[in-house]
Amino acid sequence: MRIFSGIQPTGDKHLGNYIGGFRQYAATQELGEAFFCIVDLHSITVDYEPRDLHDRTLDLYAMLVATGLDPERSTVFAQSHVTAHAESSWLLSAVTSYGQLGRMTQFKDKSERRDFVSAGLFTYPVLMAGDILLYQTDRVPIGDDQRQHLELSRDIAERFNARFGETFVVPEGIYPEVGARIMDLQEPTRKMSTTGGSEQGTVRLLDETDVILKKFRSAVTDSGREIRRGDDKPGITNLLDIFSVATGKPPGQIEVEYEHVGYGQFKSDVGEAVAAMLAPVRERYLELRADEGELLRLLALGADKARAASAPTLRRMYERMGFVHLG
């Protein structure tokens, strides 16, 4: 079985990325042949600092390894090092509907808040479809916010297969059972994000323990006193999900254990559990990040493996679409 997922190097990585992304990557690499891509080409679709992109890419590589990816076993690489990604994006744009791209909620959200909306922000999901389809991917571990993009990738694969002949596996998403959408601690009706969320409500993976504890202690809760999940309790539901992931206990069991406990105690316990979960990740990250030469060696290794794995599909795409092959 082939597994593929991608993550953007820009924007500080946060607890939502950890739960919907990193944690799932480490678990799914056990399922088969796995590819994890630092999607640097996606990061240029919104305003960014060229000087930062380089460092952020290495930061993210170190974080992927610190959270459990084994670069010798899985293929971990940067998108810009494998030109097949940019090429496949152009080819797939021929079978992507303009109307469907305009209906992507991420495009609508991100384009609303900007003066300058790049064409790349609009065609972003086509590049993402290419990422996935080039590797004949069966499963894509992602958070809930990427569901619509994955559905579009499936539509693109089906349309290409129907128009040019069977070429792609049609991929399926894998979403975490608990924590597929981690919400901002201050505004639990919007997803946690370093680009759109609140400073105090976003837990960064590299936050120090005291900062993490403080953010949880000041988390917004709901009316009432009960610690239970429910649509009327977005704040407590989010904290229960996070606690469940950090302790490995099902949310229902936590509800029972916290039946007679107040919100204040609950919030500090969640903070303690998250801080304990992230402390070893931070430590490992700092160690890995210190050896830039090794990170570059691993990136080159990943690029070689990814080029070899994607080349046959790209070649087939050109052939099926009727381009002249020079042998």
Q: How far is the CB of 290 from ligand TYM (least distance, A)?
A: 24
Q: How far is the CB of 173 from ligand TYM (least distance, A)?
A: 9
Q: What are phi and psi of 197, to 5 degrees?
A: -95, -175
CB of 218 to ligand TYM, least distance (A): 18
Strands of the 172-174 sheet, one edge to the other: 75-78, 33-38, 2-7, 139-141, 172-174
DSSP codes of every residue in 271-322: HHHHHHHHHHHHHHHHHHHT-HHHHHHHHHHHHHHHHHHHHHHHHHHHHHTT
**Shortest separation between residue 261's beta carbon and ligand TYM, angstroms:** 25
Task: Give the residue with the Cβ less far from ligand TYM, 53 or 319.
Answer: 53
The nearest distance, CB 200 to ligand TYM, in angstroms, is 16
Q: Which is nearer to ligand TYM, 36 or 266 (CB)?
A: 36
Q: Which is nearer to ligand TYM, 40 or 269 (CB)?
A: 40
The 3 state secondary structure assigned to 142-154 is: CCHHHHHHHHHHH
Q: How far is the CB of 259 from ligand TYM (least distance, A)?
A: 27
- In the complex with ligand TYM, the residue whose CB is nearer, 191 or 289, is 191
Query: Strand (E) positions, 85-185?
Result: 139-141, 172-174
Is 311 within 8 Å of 304 (Cβ atoms)? no
- Shorter beta-carbon distance to ligand TYM: residue 182 or 213: 182
Q: How far apart are CA 195 and CA 182, in angstroms?
A: 14
User: What residues make contact with ligand TYM under the rule CB under 6 A?
Assistant: 4-8, 16-17, 19-21, 39, 42, 128, 131-132, 140, 142-143, 145-146, 149, 180-182, 191-193
- Tell me which residue has its CB nearest to ligand TYM: 20
Amino acid in the structure at residue 298: L
Q: Which CB, 149 or 233, lies closer to ligand TYM?
A: 149
- 102: enclosing H helix or E strand: helix 98-102
